[in-house]
Chains A and B, each alone.
Chain A
Amino acid sequence: MAFPMARHAILPRTAPFEDKERASLDAVLGAATPIQRAWLAGFLAGLDAAGGQPAAAVPAAPPKAAEPLTILFASESGNSEKLAGDVAKLARKSGFKPKIVDFFDLDVASLAREKHVVAIAATWGEGEPPARAMRAYGELMGEGAPRLDGIDFAVLALGDTSYAEFCAIGKALDARFEALGAKRAYARADLDLDFDEPAADWIKNTVKALTPPPGADNVVAVDFAARTVDEDDEAEPSREPRVVEVVDHVNLNSSRSDKETIHLALEFEDGAPAYEPGDSLEIYPENDPALVDEILAATGLSGDEALRRALLAERDITTLSATTVERFAKATGHAEAQKLIDSGEAKAWIEGRHLIDLIQSFPATVTAEHLATITRPLPPRAYSIASSRKEVGDEVHLVIAAVRYETHGRARSGVTSTHVADRVKNGAKLRVKLKPNRHFRLPQDPATDIIMVGPGTGVAPFRAFVQERRAVEAPGRSWLFFGDRHFTHDFLYQLEWQDALEDGSLTKIDVAFSRDQPQKIYVQDRIDHHARELVEWLDGGASFYVCGDANRMAKDVRNAVVRAYATVKSLGEAEAEAAVAALERAHRYQQDVY
């Protein structure tokens, strides 16, 4: 038989179908959930109403409005936002009418009117919310937050175990919703950088948990306009990893510099993905073979080639988190390591230490299987793209600072940056993935002025901006604030900025080199110095962009802009702050910080 028999025949024999058709429908409908059946009813009704087919049947009951679901996201790098989209997609299939709300745009008071809320929140830096979410997060945690009685919620927390305050924001939101009277529909998950699979599971379970028990008369109104969302998804550039060839690899710092910043040009053989200035590219790195060998030696596993390959390319063998210590203690049964956790000293101990320190400090019998459970998958690392396709065609340019430092008497290095700096040469292949960033975009109108603040590698997207605006002959003015340590040795892309000033794609440049003179000078000091002109530009409609260090620079720059308003317009602190907040609301103050 071509079609499996439905367990329960649904359609009566009197139904106006051929036997074969009836069997097919039974096969589908018999396995369908009530909500699926309700949706189908709504769909068919809606289809006819939309004139898709001549109406033949009247639905058994008038369609009822689909269950609303609000999906909040607080995103810095775009991961939470992407997952919010995944939730929406599944929820729609399950009969919800999903609405995605960026924390950036969230009106906290309106939350009280919601019925179902899913919140996806990233934790940033030392336990902080993403910059764009700062305001709404503050309001929600503050005294003015509304009661949320009668609301079902679920929180998905994203984080990075290599930071001490893992998933702090997600945890705080989860507790806050409950404290405000909302009812937890599904338990929170705290996910590390390898969140893909667990996030998909959590989304499936959460949507299921939120689904209201259907009544037999349910007919879900199908929103046909929502189909355009799916079409948008299809238009998005591919997010699949691709293999690229390194066609240029230059250390931009002078040989006299104590810094090392690699300009990397990557070529896509079959055409670069449709990236936009502001987007990022993820690089899948490999670990330092010397470190791999050290770990193998320390565990007595040298000679296991398969393990060596796995440690090189697949496992994160540097990050040491409390979780790592716990897993290690559990796997090896090491009493001392367990004591570290039990005494609560683990958190302090892991500070500045890596996996190798753990293995060497607590000698134990470690197997290849242990290493697999102890470590997490090696995450890719995102870098802001430093080129425009309009200028470089099928290439993507990145600018990557090699991270090297010393802690506890041992030289440490950033996995991806030193992989790129030390072990990747011209002609090498890299695996990469595009990571769009809709929140860091040039103004729609090329006549709009732009102000760009990008010290160090923060200058990357602005190289893309200037290339793009040169290519489209944008009439808007552009002003770049750049900074680094030394003018002579660390002025990234100096000759290109000179050309850009010459051809007009860059109108102005101000520079701050911190170590050229006794008093340290930073980009925010230059903003202070040019406060009047800066406010003039902003009053004239300019968009303001900041890229680079999130911990200090971005905050210092924002404070400098607030200060500029206060000084130039003789405003009080609150008014000046409001002026900058208004810029942010209007998407005229954008940040790409890390």
Chain B
Amino acid sequence: MAEQTPPRTYETPPTERPITDAEAARSAGLAHNEHLKIASGYLRGTLADGLLKHATGAISEDDGQLVKFHGMYMQDDRDIRAERTKKKLEKAFSFMIRLRIAGGVVTPKQWLALDEIATTYAGGALRATTRQTFQYHGVIKSNLKRTMAAIDATLLDTIAACGDVNRNVMAATNPAQVGAHKAAYQLGKDISDSLLPKTSAWREIWLDGERVVGGENAAEIEPVYGKTYLPRKFKTVIAVPPSNEVDIFAHDLGFIAILDEKNRVTGWNVTVGGGMGMTHGETDTFPRTADVMCFVAPEDALKTAEAVMTVQRDWGNRKVRKNARLKYTIERYGLSAFRAEVEKRVGKPLADPKPYTFTNNGDRYGWTEGDDGRHHLTLYVASGRIKDYENGPQLLTGLRRIAEIHEGDFRLTGNQNVIIANVPSDKRAEIEALVDQHGMMKGASALRRNSMACVALPTCGLALAESERYLPDLMTELETSLASHGLAEDEITIRMTGCPNGCARPFIAEIGLVGRGPERYHLYLGAAFDGSRLGKLYGEDVTASEIKTILDPLFAAYAKNKQPGERFGDYLIRDGYVTKTINGPDFHEKIGPLKSAA
């Protein structure tokens, strides 16, 4: 018997635009960040002054919130925190700078420039993120302007890479479907450009641009966002089935290409209300997979994107920041009310979604050939960290050499990997030689190829436990276990994050590990391989050494009892080890193992 969902009652949506008056914001009890945005003068705050305070590598706490809109997080090296006070040194502050690279497409020339910036200012590492862009770590305050100027010279920027805005727009990279990819990339780029904040603060602060005067009129300065921008971050992605490499269900807004028999895009299914972040111990916060809301024709896609974002702008919760994302807006007011409002703003009724099929949310490694005869090589990059590894792949140098001769482009994937794309047939051998020479294609296990980890310690201020630095070791242990059960070649997604904000999207991995404290993780199991279903909390506060002990018997059972083609996450649910998660609100229900795996 199917599970009965109790009827939901929804609140009546607001009709007013967001409050932009400081006094009114106070009496309405808005969250601190809302006051900040109102007072910031369109994201300026006191950043310019803060950069002149030479005795500290930090900026003020409030500016620390604002600087996210400029693509940066202030962080500190937590590995050396303990020694600093005794040495009469403040925390080892530095900044993470995230680029905005719509669709993750980078030209060879840009690659070389980005590489040089990494080498000069960011400890010699480029980090591919889980959202198709690069971020730099460890840039100190005195180098921020130099770094930003160098980024500007590449014709890229960092505007809205973080903050309460539409962030970097992801788009499918599948180079085999040339036409569909082009359409996906174009839509992503259009959305990125159209929803970009218009304030001149970025240019003014980082590039010593002139302050644009005379504009106190929000309609001129920020026609879409207004003074207070969005209630919370907003993430948009474009997917082309059958690959869900962009993890469309984990994002606020998504477009799924609906293809005809010739792989041409006939329109887009629109998804809304996905998101990963939650707070440990607070069940009114939860990850949520997106709803597939409607289908739009290609010409309506951009307008729909704007409509979804502006409804969230106006309806999103600005009092309780942890409930501010679109997923909570939809839970609060209901999908049909939300859809009705979007239709109102688009100016026409929208069709119901069309059928589509995703098969996975990972990358295709190795060489593929597009339907235009061009070649594409997907490289595995452990945790997206592009550097020269001691006794390992010389990724930074190797990719630099390739960029020097490459005529196509590079694509960053949503799985922290890199594609050397659009290689003409006569260049393939040359690139292959460079790849070999720098040890960049050393075979990674099936588990590693389906793994992701966030940065976490030592730089991320939110991390409660290790992630990027620990997952490789854990996978080495799990590989032994999997091999012993004959599962070495089975593809199972595994993702780890240092905190429940979910940068590496652990809640939709078949094995999800989320940091709780030093060497302690929550273990989530039962998510779908294609990223369409959340996992369920299986082991609480599991120590690092216990993870293998818990998983080993489950691997054994899976190896023994799986049906042909059955995925690990699906199997655990079918065989009754863990409860299936329907969606966000029941994420915290019926947790724990249902039966012993021994």
The residue of chain B having its C-beta at the shortest distance from the C-beta of A510 within the complex is B54
Instruction: Give CA–CA (A93, B286) in the complex, Å.
Output: 94
Interface string of A247-280 (1 = CB under 8 A from B): 0001111111000000100000000000000000
Residues of B contacting A: mostly? loop
Whether, in the assembled complex, A493 has its beta carbon less than 8 Å from a beta carbon of chain B, the answer is yes
The residue of chain A having its C-beta at the shortest distance from the C-beta of B143 within the complex is A517
Known: A254-B83, A488-B94, A513-B142. A495 touches B54 (CB 8 A): no
Known: A498-B56, A509-B55, A511-B55. A253 touches B140 (CB 8 A): no
Q: B90 and A494: CB pair below 8 A?
A: yes
Q: A498 and B143: CB pair below 8 A?
A: no
Whether, in the assembled complex, B217 has its beta carbon less than 8 Å from a beta carbon of chain A, the answer is no
Instruction: Give CA–CA (A256, B458) in the complex, Å.
Output: 14
Nearest CB in chain A: distance from B86 CB, A: 6
Q: A252 and B88: CB pair below 8 A?
A: yes
Instruction: Give CA–CA (A167, B583) in the complex, Å.
Output: 86
- Which bucket holds chain B's interface residue count? 20 to 34
Q: A496 and B88: CB pair below 8 A?
A: yes
Whether, in the assembled complex, B155 has its beta carbon less than 8 Å from a beta carbon of chain A, the answer is no
Chain B residues, CB < 8 A from A494: 55-56, 88-90
Whether, in the assembled complex, B590 has its beta carbon less than 8 Å from a beta carbon of chain A, the answer is no
Chain A residues, CB < 8 A from B54: 509-511
Contact of A495 among B83, B85, B93, B94 (CB under 8 A): B85
Whether, in the assembled complex, A383 has its beta carbon less than 8 Å from a beta carbon of chain B, the answer is no
Known: A491-B89, A513-B142. A254 touches B55 (CB 8 A): no
Interface string of A504-528 (1 = CB under 8 A from B): 0000011101001110000000000
Instruction: Give CA–CA (A253, B87) in the complex, Å.
Output: 7
Known: A256-B80, A488-B94. A493 touches B88 (CB 8 A): yes
Chain A residues, CB < 8 A from B77: 488
Known: A516-B140, A516-B142. A498 touches B55 (CB 8 A): yes
Instruction: Give CA–CA (A32, B544) in the complex, Å.
Output: 93
Whether, in the assembled complex, B146 has its beta carbon less than 8 Å from a beta carbon of chain A, the answer is yes
Whether, in the assembled complex, A195 has its beta carbon less than 8 Å from a beta carbon of chain B, the answer is no
Nearest CB in chain A: distance from B34 CB, A: 30
Q: A488 and B140: CB pair below 8 A?
A: yes
Whether, in the assembled complex, A177 has its beta carbon less than 8 Å from a beta carbon of chain B, the answer is no
Known: A497-B55, A513-B142, A517-B143. A254 touches B86 (CB 8 A): no
Chain B residues, CB < 8 A from A43: none
| A contacts with B, residue count (CB < 8 A) | 27
Nearest CB in chain A: distance from B61 CB, A: 15
Whether, in the assembled complex, B120 has its beta carbon less than 8 Å from a beta carbon of chain A, the answer is yes
Q: A498 and B90: CB pair below 8 A?
A: yes
Whether, in the assembled complex, A594 has its beta carbon less than 8 Å from a beta carbon of chain B, the answer is no
Chain A residues, CB < 8 A from B86: 250
Chain B residues, CB < 8 A from A263: 88
Q: B80 and A255: CB pair below 8 A?
A: yes
Instruction: Give CA–CA (A472, B283) in the complex, Å.
Output: 58
Whether, in the assembled complex, A163 has its beta carbon less than 8 Å from a beta carbon of chain B, the answer is no
Whether, in the assembled complex, A487 has its beta carbon less than 8 Å from a beta carbon of chain B, the answer is yes
Residues from 110 to 161 in B contacting A, C-beta threshold 8 Å: 120-121, 140-143, 146
Instruction: Give CA–CA (A494, B92) in the complex, Å.
Output: 11
Nearest CB in chain B: distance from A507 CB, A: 12
Instruction: Give CA–CA (A498, B54) in the complex, Å.
Output: 10
Whether, in the assembled complex, A501 has its beta carbon less than 8 Å from a beta carbon of chain B, the answer is yes
Whether, in the assembled complex, B57 has its beta carbon less than 8 Å from a beta carbon of chain A, the answer is yes
Known: A250-B87, A516-B142. A488 touches B55 (CB 8 A): no
Whether, in the assembled complex, B84 has its beta carbon less than 8 Å from a beta carbon of chain A, the answer is yes
Q: A495 and B80: CB pair below 8 A?
A: no
Nearest CB in chain A: distance from B73 CB, A: 17
Nearest CB in chain B: distance from A220 CB, A: 59
Interface string of A332-343 (1 = CB under 8 A from B): 000000000000
Identify which of B54, B77, B85 gathers the most chain A CB atoms within 10 Å of its CB: B54
Identify which of B85, B88, B141 gathers the most chain A CB atoms within 10 Å of its CB: B88
Residues from 55 to 102 in B contacting A, C-beta threshold 8 Å: 55-57, 77, 80, 83-90, 92-94
Nearest CB in chain B: distance from A248 CB, A: 10
The residue of chain B having its C-beta at the shortest distance from the C-beta of A494 within the complex is B89
Chain A residues, CB < 8 A from B92: 254, 256, 488-489
Residues from 19 to 72 in B contacting A, C-beta threshold 8 Å: 54-57
Q: A487 and B55: CB pair below 8 A?
A: no
Nearest CB in chain A: distance from B230 CB, A: 34
A sample of 14 inter-chain contacts (CB < 8 A) reads A250-B88, A253-B87, A255-B80, A487-B141, A497-B55, A498-B90, A509-B54, A509-B55, A511-B142, A516-B140, A516-B142, A517-B121, A517-B142, A517-B146
Extra contacts besides A250-B87, A497-B55, A511-B55 (6): CB < 8 Å:
A263-B88, A487-B142, A488-B94, A495-B89, A498-B90, A517-B120
Q: Which residues of A contact B (CB under 8 A)?
A: 250-256, 263, 487-489, 491-498, 501, 509-511, 513, 516-518
A-B pairs with lowest CB-CB distance, top 10: A495-B88, A511-B54, A488-B92, A509-B55, A498-B55, A494-B89, A497-B55, A493-B88, A252-B87, A487-B140
